[in-house]
Structure formats: structure tokens, C-alpha cells
Amino acid sequence: MKGTGRSTLKVDPFSALIGGIGGFVTISILSLLTLWTSNLWIIAPFGASCVLAFGFWDAPLSQPRNIIGGHFISALTGLAMLHLFGDSMWVMAAAVGLAIAFMMLTKTSHPPAGADPIAVILAGSGWSFLFTPVLTGSITIVAMALLINNLDKKRRYPSFWI
């Protein structure tokens, strides 16, 4: 448990600037869309998705398949569990565990999406939550990641689609 190595993370101020701008722009867009429409376009896990999409754009868990698929599968799992079994803490725990398993089985693992069942169950969400904010928001994150990450010649996003 002591750990013997050091962090392998590299510090690149320009990359950090791009990451910060990407997160700012994306969350601003989702927040403005929430203010301007009658729909919820943003959930807390999207902030963590932005960390991966803009800070670690080349990681496997940051790719479009993982961002969109991970959020979709996890939210769907949370919604199914909520509507089948209610909103107890045991249902929430089971939904998170199942969401992790389903993401792993479908190769769509995306750590921030693990929080989606919690958000779904705590809010008592309806089935429309799967589309707005989950699907529309995750697609917006990917679209912004495509635009912003590829402004830097050193970044190539995505690494893969499928």
C-alpha cells in the first residue's frame, strides 16, 4: 500500500490551458442551454467527463464511444432499477454496481458515468432523462471535444470511434 513509484503525469501548461478552455466552453454551453430552454442539459458527472475529454483526450476511457455509451448505459441502468425497485440506498448501490459491469461488458467504461445512477435515483428521474440531459449532453461534450482538441496540432481526437 505504500506505493514505490512517482506520478507519470506530465505538466504541459499549453495543454492545461486547452483543457481548461474546453471544460469552460462545454459546461457554459450546457448551462446556457438549460437556462434558455425548459430542459435540463447538465448533470454533475459531465464536469468529470470534461476532465477526461479535454485533459486526457487520448485515454481509452475518454473516447466518444466511452463518453456517450458509458453515460447512456449507466443512466439506463439507473432508470431501470429506479422504476423496477424504487429509490432505496440498496437499489442505488446495485444500480452503480450493475452500471460498472454493463460498461465493462460493452467496452464503454467511462468513470464519470458511474455517478449517473446516483443522479437518476436521487432525482427520481423519468425516462426522458435518458435523452435530455444524458444523451444530448454527452453528445455535446464529444462535439466540443472534437472541435477544441483538434485545434492543437499535437492532439488527435478521437483515438477511436468503435
- Count up the domains in the chain and report the number: 1
Q: Specify if 44 maps to a domain.
A: yes
- Residue 108 domain boundaries: 13-149
Residue 87 within a domain: yes
Residue at 7 is within a domain: no
64-85 helix and 136-149 helix, angle to the nearest 10 degrees? 170
The pLDDT tens digits of the residues spanning 57-94 come to: 999 999 999 999 999 999 999 999 999 999 999 999 99
Asked if the structure places residue 2 within a domain, the reply is no
- Residue in this structure with the C-alpha cell 455535446, named with its chain if needed: 140
**Closest residue by Cα to residue 29 from 128, 129, 133:** 133
Structural domain includes residue 102: yes
DSSP 3-56: --S---PPP-HHHHHHHHHHHHHHHHHHHHHHHHSSS----THHHHHHIIIIIS
Over pLDDT 90: what percentage of the chain? 87
pTM, two decimal places = 0.94
